[in-house]
């Protein structure tokens, strides 16, 4: 689940967990804020530790005895489809996206670990800028 604008708190995650939501996603800025406060506001535990701070790992948020699995989007790469790729050719955009993901995940993969990489558009309707609204025949 991507909560509105990626907003996450212990209360929201606890309610979502109670309702059966198994994972939530947010922006890397939320991850940075949580880790910068040494998780004082959010009891965040890294489920896999490819790096001290990574958008390629799963996290667990402990909220009042309930656990919520978390992933965090790479902000720059997630914004590319909405703000950059509509002005590029399809092959060039696809190649750029794949190369960007490979570069971002390389440190994790080189360490012999698997990486998860989420691309989450934050409410922008990217497709309205694409030829034929992004629909292929």
**Section 99-122 average pLDDT:** 85
Judged against a pLDDT cut of 90, whether residue 46 lies above it is answered with: no
Judged against a pLDDT cut of 70, whether residue 47 lies above it is answered with: no
Domain positions in the chain: 4-73, 75-134
CA distance 105 to 51: 11
CA distance 66 to 73: 23
* pLDDT 10s digits, 26-40: 888 887 777 666 544
pTM: 0.75
| pLDDT given at position 53 | 61
């Amino acid at each position: 689940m991507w909560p509105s604008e990626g907003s996450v708190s212990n209360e929201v995650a606890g309610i979502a967990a109670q309702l059966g939501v198994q994972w939530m996603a947010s922006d890397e800025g939320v991850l940075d804020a949580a880790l910068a406060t040494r998780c004082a506001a959010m009891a965040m535990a890294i489920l896999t530790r490819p790096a001290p701070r990574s958008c390629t790992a799963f996290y667990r948020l402990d909220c009042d005895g309930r656990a919520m699995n978390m992933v965090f989007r790479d902000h720059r790469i997630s914004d590319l489809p909405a703000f950059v790729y509509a002005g590029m050719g399809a092959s060039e955009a696809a190649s750029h996206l794949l190369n960007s993901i490979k570069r971002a995940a390389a440190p994790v993969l080189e360490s012999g670990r698997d990486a998860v990489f989420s691309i989450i558009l934050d409410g922008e309707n990217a497709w309205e800028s694409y030829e034929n609204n992004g629909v292929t025949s």
